[in-house]
Structures are given as structure tokens and as C-alpha cells.
Amino acid sequence: MDLIKYLEFKEKLRNELENELSPESIERARKDPHARRYPRPCGMTIHTGIGCTYSCTYCYIYDMGFPHKVQPYPLSGKELLYALTLNPYVVLGPGGTMLAMGSVTEPFLPETRDRALEYIKVLGSLGNPLQVSSKSVLDDEYITRIKGYAPNISFLETVICLRNCRKIEPLAPDPMDRLRFVGRLVRAGINVSLFIRPIIPGITDRDAREILLMAREFGVKSVVLGTLRVTAGIYERLRSIGIDLSLRLPSGKLGREQVPIRARDLKDKIASLAREMGFKVYESACAANIEAAGLGCYACKWGPCGDLSRLPSVDAGDVNEFIKYLGYSGRVEQLRDNRIVIRLDRGDARRIEAMLRELLRREVVIRGVMRHHCADSICGDIN
């Protein structure tokens, strides 16, 4: 696998955009977090707006300081692309870093959907695995444009309850309308998975069978499941609408930090139900992204995911050249099916780890130089 061509492509794209964009645009993109944020293990989150009007009771973004109003993200599509070319951890191009929209806002709010489409257009043209998670209902014109811009996009539509949802999701579209929308996505040939996340105890497990039955009727073939994470605020908000999580809390005091509740039993129950009904069940959103992109991945314990015949072949010499090209000093120490150990004598360990994990789709372990922890990553895919 020619790893260096990815670095050359990114550099060429950066130079082209530098010639095209105004000095103000360049400055805006340089200062933006997309130019430096460290990708999460399952990809790089792309923000389409700031804030969210849907005000879901279980949402963590309000504890992170985001408002209940929304504004389109301040970067244009090209500015976003330029910011990504500056991000040292991101690999651009087919088979590059997984990209995910919908982590801290609903991407298709009326105020932000044109921005989201603009991003889908520029990111779709790169060929990176691209995913969007949403609770919106879009008309056919938007669906056609999404399919045109990013034919292999992985679309996750969230439905976590059917009855009395208004208390939990006061302003999001009716879940039945979402399911009908999913049917239109399927008919348009978009890779769509039902996103049952977060699983709300007593609510999602109660409605799961019905949700799955309807999704199957609308042609959905896969499901992504995810556990609820709570802060002190989320716990209180859910309690005030009659959802008692006291028996499912992890040990320790709740604060502003998000912690997963204990709900493995519910996740397993819904997963078995879905499998019995013929769905493919993904443990994680990135698995749906990898599959939609026609790639394979074995970068974590949940793998292997996707098409294993598409798992990139690894040559130690190519990896060593890649490290050298970046100006670092190091070499491959161990190569296994799903794990690469690198001895790095000089260089940015987090960068090597992030880039090679995405390029080679295996766990990357760096030995040698100190690895710093990231303070800038946020958890993704609330929708």
C-alpha cells in the first residue's frame, strides 16, 4: 500500500486551497478546531452547527456549554476542507480517516441543513468513509443531493422510542415520520442503518420490537446500538420525566463528565431481538461507516468489521518509509493481523498512531517516545 501518496495528496490539496481561498478564509480555517482536533478511535467528528434546537432530554451537548439555539458552523465547505488539510492527524482520500457528522448537533436542522449539504459535497468528493447521524426528516430533493454528493455515505437515523416520546425528545420530528423517511432513504439507494442510541431503560427496550418491525418493513437491514451516557444534569432531567436510572448508575458521583450507565443487559436484549428479525447489528457506529464504504477494519476489539478482503495489506518497509517521510525516526517492530507495534525514537507518537490506524485499519501501538494524552477529543454521535 502506497502510504506516502496520501501525504502528497493532502499537501497538494492544501496548496490548491491556499491559492484559492482569501486570507480571511485561511485565517478562519487555521484557527478552527477542525485543523487540530485529534480523531476519536472511530473517526474525526465534523461539526455542522453550533448548538441544537431539538433539546432532547438525554442530550449531553448542553452540559458541554452548547446553546438550545443553533447557528450554522462558521466555516464554508472549502474552509472546512482546508482546515482538515492542516490537521496533522487526519488522512484524506479514499480509505482515509473516517469522518462523522452529527456528534454535537443535529446536522439537518432547517438553519444548518444547507451547511451540512455543503460539507457532504466537499467531503464526499474526497472518498473518505463518511457518516451522518440524524433525527431529521428531509424531502426528496435533499436525499437526491446527498446520494449524488456522497454515494457511499453511511446514514444513521435515530429512533429510540415510539410512544410518549415528546417528553424525551420534545422538539425532534415524530419517530414514525423518521421511519417513513428511512424508507425513502432506502429506496434512494443510500446505506442507512437504524440508530438505536441512546437506549433509555424502560422506554427503548419497551418499544424496540415495534421500532424494529417498522424499520424492517421500510427496508432497513442494519442497526447500530448504543448505551446512554449521563451527567448529573441528564440524570436529573430524566428523573423529572419519570425515568429513574438510580439502579443503573456507575459507581462514583455524577458531575459534568459523561459516564455510561450500566445497560449491557438491555443492549444485548435488543441486539438478539434485532438479529432474530434478520438485522445486522453493529456494536459501534464506525462499523456501519466502514461497511458502507466497502472497506474492512480490525482496529479494535469489536472488529473485524466490514469486508475483510479489503483490509489493507501491510508492508513493514512501506510503514518505515512513511515514518521517514514525516521526518521522524522509527520502525515497525511487530506485525500481526490486527496489530502493529512501532518503535519510535523521534517524532509525534499520537500522529503516527492516528494516521496509521486509519490507513492500515489495525491497532497501532507505539513504543519508545512518550505519548501525550489528548484533552481535545469529544465523544461523538449523539444523534
Nearer to ligand SF4 by Cβ, of 54 and 328: the residue is: 54
SS (H, E, C) 147-193: HHHCCCCEEEEECCCCCCHHHCCCCCCCHHHHHHHHHHHHHCCCEEE
If binding is defined by CB under 6 A, does position 61 make contact with ligand SF4? yes
**Calpha distance 354→163 (Å, rounded):** 42
Rounded to the nearest whole angstrom, what is the least distance from the CB of residue 212 to ligand SF4 in the complex?
21
If binding is defined by CB under 6 A, does position 99 make contact with ligand SF4? no
If binding is defined by CB under 6 A, does position 159 make contact with ligand SF4? no
DSSP strand E in 217-338: where?
Answer: 222-227, 229-230, 259-260, 280-282, 296-297, 305-306, 329-335
Residues in contact with ligand SF4, counted by CB under 6 A, come to a total of 25
The secondary structure element, H or E, covering residue 9 is helix 4-20
**From 298, 314, 328, 344, residue interacting with ligand SF4 (rule: CB under 6 A):** 298
- Pick the stretch among 47-55, 88-96, 345-353, 368-376 that binds ligand SF4 (CB under 6 A): 47-55
Nearer to ligand SF4 by Cβ, of 90 and 382: the residue is: 382
- Pick the stretch among 228-236, 245-253, 283-291, 317-325 that binds ligand SF4 (CB under 6 A): 283-291
If binding is defined by CB under 6 A, does position 57 make contact with ligand SF4? no
- Omega into 198 within 30° of 0, i.e. cis? yes
> What does the DSSP 8-state code read for residue 229?
E
Short-list 209, 206, 227, 226, CA closest to 217: 209
Sign of the CA dihedral running 313, 315, 321, 326: positive
Short-list 101, 167, 163, CA closest to 133: 101
Nearer to ligand SF4 by Cβ, of 35 and 200: the residue is: 200
**From 84, 117, 230, 300, residue interacting with ligand SF4 (rule: CB under 6 A):** 300
Chain residues that interact with ligand SF4, rule: CB under 6 A:
41-42, 52, 54-56, 59, 61, 105-106, 135, 172, 284, 286-287, 290, 297-300, 302-303, 305, 382-383
